[in-house]
Structure 1
């Protein structure tokens, strides 16, 4: 890759701002994931209730992402991101000072979705500055902000135990959000001559396209799988292997690191090898690893397997968004919002599968086996559709054909 060409082709301060905004927002979005272990003890939650608690922020992110996506079209990604960060203070402040019941926790969980909706501003903000040949890397760098999950899994339970109060974590989280808001406001810049705001008919037209729904499914597997596991792994390591909240968070962080920092690698490799080849390979590996996970192996082997799964899912995120701009170059803002929302739905469903089947069967085995089946379905689907894709809008090597 021509690094000089990449940096000259776009706007580096904006790319960094998109990454930073995404990173801190992701940290806030998954806050309840590791804390759920401690909160479960305080509120005596069963497996299904704990799964609801960690899944609801993802659902909220999916819903609010469409709202922020519309705002991004109307007023620009930069202003939309600023609004998103301001609104993020509401659930953080409420969680810090006022929450007293499980119902209130559920409401806070949904409202935390505004942090997850940051995709709708961060990704278009970065994407609009870069040409098609650098989309995979640019989106991978901006999307690597999901590394904020690592900070949450490593430090949330440590802070809660140090202060003896998990609500303090919500209060302290407002500090990096404020600092990010300042940096973002100073550095980020909307691209001049942005695309004109889209109409409702534009959304309807995109939703009529079969490929839109195919990308939604793929991203619900890659990103949804990453987010879902990120929020649930602390609970899994705690329940399955009896680790205390801090150690469970540490083991979860090991796995989350893989998915976070390999996203840019996935985008870069997709630029070089083609997004189709990458996704077929990655989905296949995820299918095999999750099948092994369904046997509930030893802690060491489970950590290795989940590390590989998260690495592949992270790389898959970059690979999906290497393909999306090629297929929908003129509707990238709309499709990014729709596909991103679908990814959030996947992240909502995954904890529900693991948590509810754990409550029903007393084991995580069935849940992991079902997840491996979903990955297998993704392999079959992309193997089928790639034949038509290569004939219509993508070349054999994975590069976009010249459009008239």
Structure 2
């Protein structure tokens, strides 16, 4: 039995597409590909701005110096970005459900419009350092609205592309959004260089016209799919599936690390190596930029050789790279730290793409299994595609919680030891656990045949 997630918008009008079957090769080549890619590029723009807004406070904390009227400790700043990250993670769940209710185009317009609230609040707060800390954090947390955009955007784009191209499409969509972290930091660098730390309010204000542009592009170039539905009972059943929790944990390791490190990079440079705001801003954008740019590569590699293989190699490399970061901190070597930390960002980007590709592949495998047991092919594919779209958003939400954990661990690490090294040791141990889990569930060939879905994940990603 299925139930719909709330009242639906009318399914008629020029923005609505009533027939959509990307797995039909003739339809895809004649009509589907062009429409899907048009929606993809518009979605990337909106998600990019969303990530930028979500990242605003990771940039603005660089402006929060005693000279600007802020006498905040490192622990207070880490807590602020942790709360923003938390709000973004939690909002990913309702944002996933919003696409089937309102339509992908309509929700993109609504969600982009909502982002005007945190941008204007950020511009006000950064000019008022006397605002009580609790109120500052409460209002600043509205920037988390930008984090929710990811799940709705990914769930929407997942419905447009055939299985064989999902890795590329999801990687492009996510990578284009992820790089919003770096562009926001580049904007901050430019403002500091031109106007000093006294002009922090200009950073969010720059995004107001960009948001208006994103709204216009979505209204003009995006569509709603009438076939998009949320099967609530199937969604709840999927959360009881072990693969949901396993993939959530792996995505905590990849995306959680990306967003957590992206938010924390500037604070680490200031508090671990004593860099001033301009020096920190000149380096901060590099990690998120390269991590975002290689995310589509992770999806493409997963399409070619299998998501689990790419994910396993990524986690093992992250263990080694994190160890080098710890060595750089102990040696007080900024060049070694930035090089090794940059490599960690590259690996998180590749892992983001490969783990996200594994999610629809798992449910595609489940559809094939259902067909082999007698379920009509159209019914099996339709059901599992709806579940996969919802799971993309839910697992995205779980992964984003990793960003909260990253910043809370750094907060405690600095509070207890005045160093980030213990935090990075903890992260390295976690990546080793993720590598072992990936191998055990999705790559190991057990003697018994109790986990055929693991093998089918690899087969379906080739």
2:441 to 375, 385, 389: 385
SS of match in other structure, 2:458: coil
TM alignment of 1:129-144, pairs within 5 A: 129-144=160-175
Where does 1:155-166 land on structure 2 (aligned, <5 Å)?
Answer: 155-160=187-192, 162=195, 164-166=198-200
- Secondary structure of 1:243's match? coil
**Equivalent-residue separation in structure 1 for 2:461 and 2:205 (angstroms):** 50
Question: 2:218 pairs with 175, 179, 184, which one?
Answer: 184
1:28 corresponds to which residue? Answer: 53
Does residue 400 of structure 1 match 2:454? no
Q: How does 1:317-356 map to 2 (within 5 A)?
A: 317-329=352-364, 330=384, 331-356=387-412
Q: Distance in 1 between matches of 2:35 and 2:409?
A: 41
The Cα shift of 1:84 comes to: 1.1
The residue that corresponds to 2:41 in the other structure is 16
Tell me the TM-score normalised to structure 1 length.
0.92
Deviation at 1:159, TM superposition (A): 1.6
**What is the CA distance between 1:388 and its match in structure 2?**
6.9
Q: How does 1:258-297 map to 2 (within 5 A)?
A: 258-295=290-327, 296=329, 297=331
CA deviation after TM superposition for structure 1 residue 338, in Å: 1.0
Structure 1 segments of 4+ aligned residues over 6 angstroms from their partners: 4-7
Bigger shift: residues 20-29 or 295-304: 295-304
Spell out the pairing of 1:2-401 with structure 2 (5 A cutoff). Answer: 8=33, 11-41=36-66, 42-97=69-124, 100-144=131-175, 145-160=177-192, 162=195, 164-191=198-225, 193-199=226-232, 201-295=233-327, 296=329, 297=331, 298-329=333-364, 330=384, 331-386=387-442, 387=444, 392-395=452-455, 398-400=458-460
CA RMSD of aligned residues (A): 2.4
CA displacement, residues 242-296 of structure 1 (integer Å, 9 cap, x when unaligned): 2221221221212222101000000001100100000000001111111121121
* Structure 1: runs of 5 or more not aligned: none
Instruction: After TM superposition, give the deviation of residue 38 of structure 1 in Å.
Output: 2.1
CA contact (8 A) 1:17 1:188 kept: yes
- Higher mean C-alpha displacement, 338-347 vs 9-18: 9-18
Give CA deviations for 1:363-397 in whole Å, capped at 9, x if unaligned.
11101111111111101111111137995235479
Larger radius of gyration: 2
3-state DSSP of counterpart to 2:202 = helix
Cα deviations across residues 160-215 of structure 1 (Å, max 9, x unaligned)?
56162322322222121111111122111223x4232322x333211111110111
Is the CA contact (8 Å cut-off) linking 1:271 and 1:398 kept in structure 2? no
Residue ranges of structure 2 left out of the alignment (5+ in a row): 1-27, 365-383
Normalising by structure 2, we get a TM-score of 0.81
Aligned residues: 398
User: Structure 1, residues 8-54: CA drift from partner, whole Å, max 9, x if none?
Assistant: 37611101011111111111111111221222533322222111111
Q: Give the direction of change, closer, same or farther, for the CA distance of 1:19–1:174 in structure 2 (3 Å limit).
A: same
Contact 1:395 1:401 in 2 (8 A): no
Q: Are residues 9 and 166 of structure 1, via their aligned partners in 2, closer, same or farther at CA, if it must alter by over 3 Å?
A: closer
Deviations 1:291-321 (A, max 9, x none): 1211214111111111111011011111011
CA distance in 1, matches of 2:189, 2:283: 13
C-alpha distance in 1 between matches for 2:138 and 2:218:
28
Instruction: Provide closer, same or farther for how the CA distance between residues 5 and 217 of structure 1 changes in structure 2, counting only shifts above 3 A.
Output: farther
Decide whether the 8 Å contact of 2:159 with 2:228 is kept in 1: no
DSSP 3-state at the match of 1:204 = helix
- Cα distance in 2 between the residues matched to 1:397 and 1:209: 15
Contact 2:307-2:461 within 8 A present in 1 as well: no
